[in-house]
Amino acid sequence: MSTETYRVESAHPIIGPLWSGWASSKFHHVVNRAQAIVLAAKSRTLPAGHEIRVVHVPTGSIVFRKTDGSLSTLAED
């Protein structure tokens, strides 16, 4: 199991079809990078239109970010 941890975060509650519960908290920890990016990509904020980021916790690097209504950005390694 990987020790790298990723955080899906936003300044606003994150909702989406892959999260349990209707209005989730403002951040979630995920071990797998690909899973964290998929969760972020399929989610939106409440209210809509705010940024969702995937952060690599050990380094603080943003590896993915999206805002409703705009193109997503995937950081390259």
Helix/strand/coil for 33: helix
Q: Containing domain of residue 30, as a range?
A: 6-68
Query: Which pLDDT belongs to residue 65?
Result: 96
In a domain? residue 74 = no
CB-based contact 55:65 (threshold 8 Å): no
Residue 77 domain-assigned? no
Cα separation of 13 and 22, whole Å?
Answer: 10
Residue 51 phi, psi dihedral angles, 5° rounding: -75, 145
38 belongs to a structural domain: yes
pLDDT digits 0-9 by tens, 38-65 = 999 999 888 888 999 999 999 999 999 9
Number of separate domains in the chain: 1
Distance CA 8, CA 43 (A): 10
Is the Cα dihedral 7, 8, 12, 15 positive or negative? negative
pTM of this prediction? Answer: 0.79
Q: Is the pLDDT of residue 21 over 70?
A: no
